[in-house]
Amino acid sequence: MSQAQTLRPDLIAVLEDQGYRITAPRQAIVQLLEHKQEGFTAEEIIADLDSVGRATVYRTIKLLLRAGVVCKLATMDGAPKYSLSRAEHHHHTVCVSCGAVGEFRAATVERLLRGLAGDIPGRILGHRIEFYITCAACLPVDSN
């Protein structure tokens, strides 16, 4: 079983299930995203799809966010990055050299963090962990 889409339950279908219409622009965007799993900015999408207006791109991204299909990642330089979220809960690695965004999961981390509740004043609702790395692709170049 498991159509082996492994974890991508046909993104378009997800939208359809939530009552949204499947339009050409939305299909174009989703299709593009499927090839850009690396982490992308809104402006990137806009640049790649001349046929789709800015407004629609931003609207669609919000749609996908609400649908839980993509996740948002605030970056230091202002422009947030988005990425298709395959796993339920995960964290990000950001290459400081090329900006590529990756995902990882580590159960040990989650367990530990839960144990921290006592150190934190107030009720914990969620957390975020990011690792700043030099990614494999940039390593040879970067480390001289």
Residues that bind a copy of itself (CB under 8 A): 72, 74-76, 78, 80, 93, 95-96, 102, 104, 106, 108-109, 112-113, 115-116, 119-136, 138-139, 143
Residue placing its CB nearer to a copy of itself in the complex, 87 or 124: 124
Q: Rounded to whole angstroms, how far apart are CA atoms 34 and 68?
A: 15
Find out whether 102 and 117 touch, Cβ atoms under 8 Å.
Answer: no
Find out whether 29 and 23 touch, Cβ atoms under 8 Å.
Answer: no
Q: Which two tokens stand for residue 17?
A: 């299930």
Query: What mask, x for binding DNA by CB under 7 A, covers residues 50 to 89?
Result: -xxxxxx-xxx-x---------------xxx---------
- Bridge partner residues of 84 (DSSP): 70
Residues that bind DNA (CB under 7 A): 20-21, 23-26, 41-43, 51-56, 58-60, 62, 78-80
